[in-house]
Amino acid sequence: MKSKKYSIALSLQDVLDVVLMWEEFGKLTKFALNYQAYIDGKWYEIYRVDNYHGFLHEQKYWRSPQLILIKHKESWDLRFILDEYRDEIYQRH
């Protein structure tokens, strides 16, 4: 299994950390998107979406670190889901 980690600066105070894991033939198997913001001199995790626990979920840290199950169709490609949530983070930051 291959993996790649990188960060995208959305602004001077906003960063999106991305983790991707895929099989030998390029099929995405796991991903994580972590949105962090620099507030009052400190970095805070704000939002996370991933499938690391075997199911798609999100965490809205401004409310609670509790995992929130995301219902989706099993037929949806994981890359489609990744793109949708990445685009949503871009739009809302």
| Structure token digits, residue 24 | 């030998």
pLDDT, position 54: 87
Cα dihedral sign for 24, 29, 30, 31? positive
Predicted confidence (pLDDT) per residue in 70-89, tens digit: 987 676 788 999 999 999 99
pLDDT, position 73: 66
Predicted confidence (pLDDT) per residue in 10-67, tens digit: 999 999 999 999 997 888 999 999 999 999 999 999 999 999 988 999 999 989 989 9
Domain count, the chain: 1
Instruction: Count each helix (H run) and each strand (E run) in the chain, helices first.
Output: 1, 6
Q: Give me the domain span that covers residue 67.
A: 2-92
User: pTM, whole model, 2 decimals?
Assistant: 0.89
